[in-house]
Every structure is written in C-alpha cells, then in structure tokens.
Amino acid sequence: MLRKERYQALIDYFSTHMPVAETELVFENPFQLLVAVVLSAQCTDKRVNMSTPAIFRDFPTPAHLAASNFDELFPYIKSISYPNNKTKHLLGLGKMLVENFNGEVPSTVEELVKLPGVGRKTANVITSVVWNQPNMAVDTHVFRVSKRLGLVNQNAKTPLEVEKQLIKHIPKKHVHIAHHWLILHGRYVCVARNPKCPECGIKSLCRYFEKNHASVLGAGDTIAEAKS
C-alpha cells in the first residue's frame, strides 16, 4: 500500500466511524482549555477534569491567576503530576496574559509558546481545538500510532519530525480532527502495551499488524486486502 493510499484509507475509515472526535478535557472557553492542557502534561485527562472545576470556579480569568500566589493556588493542583512546576506555570501564564495579551488567549502558535508552561504541543492543541487551525499536536499516542500504522518514517525520532510528516500528508481540512482520531485510537485501541489488534478497524492498513500478526491473514491475502 502506498503511503498516499494509507492516509486516504485512514481518513475514510475515521470519517465514517468517528465523524465527531474531540478532546476529552472539559472546558468552556479558550482560557479554560489552556489551563487544562497545561495541567494535562504527563497526566491523564480524567485526573485533570477532576481538578479543573474548582480552579475554573475560583480563578475564572487570567486576572484571577495573576492576582494569586503559590500558596493559594497549589492546593488546587497538588493531586496532579508535577504540581510545583504547574502551579508556577499557571501563575506566570496568568500574569503574562494580562500584561502582554490584554487578558486574551493568543491565537497563534508563535505567541502561545511564549507563555510559561506552553510548548509547541500545547500551542498546537489550543489552536486546533479552539480555532480549527491545521496544526498537529504530537503527544505519546500520536507518536506511537503514526509509527505503528506506517504513516511516518520509522526513523522519525522526535515529535516535530512526526508532526511535519503528518502535516505534509493529511489534507488541511482534516488535520484538526485527525489529531483526535490518532489520540483516541492510541488511548483506547492501539495502546502502548498489548495493542488491541483483533478489535482494530484499521489493522488492514497497519504495518505493525502486518509484521506481528501476518499469520492471521488468509494465504491469498495481502495486508492491503485483508478486511477487519
């Protein structure tokens, strides 16, 4: 299967079977999403969603964060991974939003990465989720699934390398939702240990499946022809 065909098959499958794919973080506005994504680094969305209601209630705007301090904010974040750093990030983020961006979340990756605790992945999430910009956030799930499927070269070693290859081959109109397709597939099907290949709907286009489960294919089948 040519790479172009692999990408098209992926888009066709998920467009049919997962036409609506969204972040599992709970938020109501760009500021809340920004806070949630910063907190979600190396932490599950489920855990973040347990903590953010109180944060959003008591710190509803960047100005509220900017006016706070470590001792006041830390108790809200202490159950999340790396609470010391994330508390400092949110305090600095609130202050910078107020002082540099008039209290508004910027809409470009270039501006977002200037904020404390915001790297390229977080900036890509914000711009793709809020404004449907064709930006691809590469987290551990996207990285793993992209390489297993054969969407990117196996010698792609960094998230940025994977991001560039995905952006190159996915049509712009699909990039923002393809981010969620890959994340959700990696979170619930193509898991890190013991991927659930038997129940995977796209195993027929997967190089990992071809390599590790070729025996389940019929003698006359090819990986491109096998049906899930």
* Catalytic positions: 121, 139
* 190 annotated to bind ligand: yes
Closest CA to 206 of 162, 147, 136: 147
Was 200 annotated as part of a binding site? Answer: yes
User: Is 43 part of any known ligand binding site?
Assistant: no
3-state SS record for 115-160: CCCCCHHHHHHHHHHHHCCCCCCCCHHHHHHHHHHCCCCCCCCCHH
Q: d(Cα 58, Cα 131) in Å, to the nearest integer? A: 26
Q: What is the distance between the alpha carbons of residues 79 and 86, in angstroms, rounded to a whole number?
A: 11
Tokens 């013991």 correspond to what residue? 194
Binding-site residues for [4Fe-4S] cluster, in ranges, read 190, 197, 200, 206
Binding-site residues, in ranges, read 190, 197, 200, 206
